[in-house]
Chains A and B, each alone.
Chain A
Amino acid sequence: MPRILVHTPGFLTTIQDLGRPGFAHLGVSASGAADALSLRLGNLLVGNPETAAGLEMTLIGGVFEFESETLVAVTGSDFEPRLNGASVPLWTSFAVRGGDRLEFGPTKSGARCYLCIRGGVDCPPVLGSASTHLLTSLGGLEGRALKKGDVIQIHRGSPQHSALLRMKPEVLDALFQATPLRVTRGPQADWFSRETHALLSSSPYTVSENSNRMGLRLIGPELKRTIDRELLTEGVSLGAVQVPQGGQPIILFVEHQTTGGYPKIANVILADMHRVGQLRPRDEVRFEFISMDMALNLFQQQELLVNPQSLVPA
């Protein structure tokens, strides 16, 4: 069984796959990769199913040693990966041999970088998923972030598909456009005035340091409610823009609670959630309201790009 040694874990590195949907009625958050698109594409680059587990690094990457030869790909943001000291490209699969060291530094672009390994990370699935849910210590390696000295087990990959591949640059450009975050109206959109909606879509908000996989707290113009009663606790969606007392919005993210009691003015569209996963503290975000039809259209267009046709020989 191939293995990876963790020499240094980086700032916050966890095992992630596409999460554990299906248990929200038991209070279990779906969790999963913060930038699921980068994980899925990384898996395609090494010949894995999209759902295989990889390593998600945050802001500062780690140093990893491979025990035996395999195929890997690095996707997401640029943490300046180096293989035995020599720079390696992102969005491209490459071979590593036993004893090779893959080192990552601090990010040069967004918040998260993914290391996908042929076969995928092997850890006991919890409710069908390897995804780490940090807040409740579920999944991954003992439900926690990786630490120095950890040994990561890798599934044996299929013997086929050893081709070296890279993403078409035009596909990457299409997937990571620097548009405002597109949102649809939230279930309590009418708790806020037309002016407040305009304020949300015309003002820059800053990502607070106090943000994590559970939610991104934003700092900016106060979003005042026109209805001032308490909202009875109800189910919440990934990407919901909820507004607590004080009017500073929070984007509910992959480790969000299954239910919540704050009104939700908007919801980030699915096709933009991977870009939420790349937001760093102090980054500026802007919002743009679009229709549900447009949101679904953008999602379908994006899904067409997540397939082997978007890869070419490296």
Chain B
Amino acid sequence: MDNPKIIQASDHSLLVSFGDEVSLAHHQSVMRLTTLLTASRPAFIRNIHPAYCSVLVSFDPKMTSPEAVEVYLVSLVRTVESTPLPHPRHIEIPVCYGGEMGPDLADVAAHNKCSLDDVIRIHSSGEYLVYFLGFSPGFPYMGGLSAKIATPRLATPRTRVPAGSVAIGGSQTGIYPVSSPGGWRIIGRTPLRLFRPNEEPPVLLQMGDLVRFIPITNEEFARLTSS
């Protein structure tokens, strides 16, 4: 592992970065450090923001100093390499593609000069790695989208994307766990709840998960929603 860089991002946060490109090695370092941080979780740590190759750690300056947090982070980083990673979980996400639930499916097909069925077949045959959760509660940043269906984001984001929407943004795919504004192309919807704040854990997907999408019909969507 490369030696990570630690910089002070603000008067209440430090940024640990392992590099500046998306790679499995960086992802695993981020995941190990996040695991160590969430497991030990001293009271002075307020929040942990993992991303593709960095972890932002915010702290309470009433309880500690940036120097002390840095010492703490350096000590964790030393053990990162020897921290075992759990076996990745394989998660299947049922998706009802197209129609009202996937209003941009036709645009994705048109952009990539293929049929609607091609988009569905390609999207549901890939396996996607959850790099991290960010943006909004439970939103998975997933890698592994086929270049054959990559599609630029909307020029003007929607003010409200329904919860469960499965979408493509550039070369990434993701799922909107809660209704929120969003600029990705919506190709379908899952009946699963990705964010359930009153359950433990509150999120369905976690960093490191491997995800597959399973096409379902409107009837199956309705049945799964009611169950």
A-B complex is real:
yes
Which residues of chain A have C-beta atoms less than 8 A from B48's C-beta? 24-25
Check A23/B202 contact, CB under 8 A, given A184-B10, A299-B61.
yes
A239 touches B (CB below 8 Å): yes
Chain B 46-77 interface 0/1 with A at a Cβ cutoff of 8 Å (1 = within): 11111111111010011001100000000000
Within 8 A of A (CB), among B15-72: 15, 17, 20-22, 34, 38, 46-56, 58, 61-62, 65-66
Task: Decide: B134 and A135 in contact? CB cutoff 8 A.
Answer: no
Task: Decide: B178 and A137 in contact? CB cutoff 8 A.
Answer: yes
A26-34, A62-70, A89-97: which lies at the B interface?
A: A26-34
Check A28/B137 contact, CB under 8 A, given A237-B10, A296-B11.
yes
B141 touches A (CB below 8 Å): yes
Chain A 281-314 interface 0/1 with B at a Cβ cutoff of 8 Å (1 = within): 0000000000010011001100100000000000
Check A135/B66 contact, CB under 8 A, given A126-B198, A257-B136, A267-B10.
no
Within 8 A of B (CB), among A213-231: none
Which residues of chain A have C-beta atoms less than 8 A from B138's C-beta? 26-27
> How distant is A46 from chain B, measured CB to nearest CB, in Å?
23
B13 touches A (CB below 8 Å): yes
Interface size on A, residues (CB 8 A): 41
CA A88 to CA B139, docked complex, whole Å: 46
Q: Which of A30, A240, A295 contacts B46 (CB 8 A)?
A: A30
B180 touches A (CB below 8 Å): yes
Task: Decide: A257 and B58 in contact? CB cutoff 8 A.
Answer: no
Task: Decide: A26 and B133 in contact? CB cutoff 8 A.
Answer: yes
Task: Decide: A236 and B56 in contact? CB cutoff 8 A.
Answer: yes
Interface size on B, residues (CB 8 A): 51
> How distant is A130 from chain B, measured CB to nearest CB, in Å?
13
Q: Which of B38, B46, B136 contacts A135 (CB 8 A)?
A: B136
Check A127/B202 contact, CB under 8 A, given A187-B9, A267-B10.
yes
CA A26 to CA B20, docked complex, whole Å: 22
CA A269 to CA B53, docked complex, whole Å: 26
CA A296 to CA B202, docked complex, whole Å: 34
Task: Decide: A24 and B178 in contact? CB cutoff 8 A.
Answer: no
Task: Decide: B133 and A27 in contact? CB cutoff 8 A.
Answer: yes
Task: Decide: A237 and B179 in contact? CB cutoff 8 A.
Answer: no
Residue contacts A-B, CB under 8 angstroms, 5 given:
A27-B133, A27-B136, A127-B202, A270-B12, A295-B11
Residues of A within 8 A of B (CB): 21-30, 126-127, 135-138, 184, 186-187, 232-240, 257-259, 264, 267, 269-270, 292, 295-296, 299-300, 303
